[in-house]
Structure 1
Amino acid sequence: MDHTRQVAVVTGAAGAIGTALTATLTDAGYDVVGLDLPSACPPDRLASGTMVGCDITDDAEVRAVFERIVADHGRIDLLVNNAGISAIGAFDDHDVETHRQVLAVNHLGSVSCTQAALPALRESRGHVVVISSVAGFAPVVGRPAYVAAKHAVTGMFESLRPELARDGVGVTLVHPTFLTTHLGTAEGGTERTTTGSAVTADDVARAVLEGVQKRRPRVLVGRTAHVAWHVRRLAPGLYERLMTRRMTATEGADRG
């Protein structure tokens, strides 16, 4: 195996964004290793070694998998923390276990993978990407557990950026607006479509590559993400009224 080629690790690699990231990064010259639950991994990709079955909520398993990746490839230059799940409903609809599950995948899974990859990333002076969301910097009605988890992972990696900069490791937070694809939920279903202009998985993948190449601290993907970023800061009351009105209208249309 050519250990001079840059190596990227992508979590949640079997999903729509993970698949787009794999293709985009491969085209950019990376050897990509995808991680996902064993049941989600295509057998041919498991056999080829381009995907590895891994439960990112199991820290011991994560550390073993990353040790294997470094042993096989000799390096890690890029980690994309993409894996995530949502939970749809009001606060009263979900118990603590649902909140714990969403936090475990979206936040703690990213913590575990980053800690496991960090020695190799420091050696390569590499880069960490977190696929966050508009929900990572602004409230979104009807998704309290998801908003909490995305705020947690966003805040932690914002704090981690200057710490890792001393070692030459970059951190990019990517905040897409609502996607045309569906995100898995803690209940086992998929997130329903939501109002606002949507972006595709390919849009997100291209934004990730550009963010890494230009070492950007933050990337907003989609017009709604840009509007939400500015309105939330300049007029938080207006943002909350607009968001609540749009989300309520969408929920009514879904029930209809």
Structure 2
Amino acid sequence: MSCPSTDPSTSAGRPVAVVTGAAGSIGSRLVERFGEAGYDVVGLDLAGAVEAVGDAAARARMLACDITDVASVRQATDAVLARHGRIDVLVNNAGISAIGAFTDHDVAVHRRVMEVDYLAVVACTQAMLPALREAHGRVVLIGSVTGFAPVLGRPAYVAAKHAATGLFEALRPELAPDVGVTVVHPTFVTGGMGEAADRAAGTARATTGAEITPDDVARAVVAGVTRGRDRVLVGRTARLAWVISRHAPGLYVRMMKRRLR
């Protein structure tokens, strides 16, 4: 399938990338790497997170936005278009997890994870889709290994990432050829991420394989967008999980349970 070009060298003027969760560890690296690649970058994050950014130049490239609030998303979209006149790339990066067993978290926790990791993705993508279509741009989901395979110790997060991944797989043929769709599946990232609830006593964040850095993810995202990739697997563990979970799902589950327990 042919893909819209989002290579700055072939676009009229400087292309514009919007990154959600831009004050976080991966988000801040995405803002920097897209800037280095020739994009004007606008980062979206909660007002408190934006205010806490220590670097004045980085803070100037950010807008306060609660991506779980549709009105806030629409206001931010209007602000980006008023400032830059276009949106070429949307990176749905913001996310939270919930570490623990299924019975450790009530419905409210599951709802909160779904609001940030799935429904906010819907809100941002719908709001910016007309501009992306006009630019023949690309929409990106920062997914996870949990978006295509079961992973112990974070069922709410697995559910939300499966939902978001399924959405983007459905959008790819629907939006083609006007808008390209890239799903990025990193393995475990150093430092982890924000969580929707306190962990139960004695519950730790389990990982398997070598962790990757936020900058590893950012570099892979920019490369995937530039090359028009449909899917990007970041890290050896992600690549192994992709192959094994598809060709030997029983073996994958046994290996995952042994390593994460």
TM-score (norm 1): 0.92
Report the equivalent of 2:215. Answer: 202
Q: How big is each residue's C-alpha offset from its partner over 1:57-89, in whole Å with a ceiling of 9 and x where there is no partner?
A: 001110111011101110000000000000011
Q: Which runs of 4+ in 1 moved over 3 A?
A: 43-49
Report the equivalent of 2:131. Answer: 120
Structure 2 counterpart of 1:61, from 72, 85, 104: 72
CA distance in 2, matches of 1:46, 1:187: 32
Aligned partners of 2:206 and 2:260 also within 8 Å? no
Report the equivalent of 1:251. Answer: none
Q: How big is each residue's C-alpha offset from its partner over 1:201-229, in whole Å with a ceiling of 9 and x where there is no partner?
A: 11101110111111111000000000000
Determine if the alignment matches structure 1 residue 144 to structure 2 residue 155: yes
Determine if the alignment matches structure 1 residue 129 to structure 2 residue 149: no
Report the equivalent of 1:161. Answer: 172
Question: What is the percent sequence identity of the aligned residues?
Answer: 63
**SS of 2:193's equivalent?**
coil
Q: How big is each residue's C-alpha offset from its partner over 1:217-246, in whole Å with a ceiling of 9 and x where there is no partner?
A: 100000000000000011101100110111
Report the equivalent of 1:182. Answer: 192
Report the equivalent of 2:248. Answer: 235
Could you list the runs of 5+ residues in structure 1 that have no partner in the other structure? 249-256
Structure 2 counterpart of 1:14, from 23, 35, 38: 23
Q: How big is each residue's C-alpha offset from its partner over 1:31-82, in whole Å with a ceiling of 9 and x where there is no partner?
A: 1000011111127659964101111000111011101110111000000000
Q: How big is each residue's C-alpha offset from its partner over 1:89-130, in whole Å with a ceiling of 9 and x where there is no partner?
A: 111111111000000001111110011111110000001010
RMSD: 1.8
Determine if the alignment matches structure 1 residue 26 to structure 2 residue 35: yes
Determine if the alignment matches structure 1 residue 219 to structure 2 residue 232: yes
Letter paired with 2:27: G
Report the equivalent of 1:254. Answer: none
Aligned partners of 1:45 and 1:51 also within 8 Å? no
CA distance in 1, matches of 2:81, 2:196: 31
Which one has more relative contact order, counting CA pairs under 8 Å at least 6 apart? 2
Aligned partners of 1:46 and 1:52 also within 8 Å? no
Aligned partners of 1:182 and 1:193 also within 8 Å? no
Report the equivalent of 1:73. Answer: 84
Could you list the runs of 5+ residues in structure 2 that have no partner in the other structure? 1-11
Comparing 132-141 with 59-68, greater Cα deviation is found at: 59-68
1:196 positional shift: 1.3
TM-score (norm 2): 0.90
**SS of 1:174's equivalent?**
strand
**SS of 1:34's equivalent?**
strand
Report the equivalent of 2:108. Answer: 97
CA distance in 1, matches of 2:197, 2:153: 14
Distance of aligned partners of 1:48 and 1:185 in 2 relative to their CA distance in 1, 3 Å threshold: closer
Letter paired with 1:173: V
Distance of aligned partners of 1:208 and 1:153 in 2 relative to their CA distance in 1, 3 Å threshold: same
Distance of aligned partners of 1:45 and 1:38 in 2 relative to their CA distance in 1, 3 Å threshold: farther
Aligned partners of 1:25 and 1:209 also within 8 Å? yes
Count of aligned pairs between the two proteins: 245
Aligned partners of 1:127 and 1:170 also within 8 Å? yes
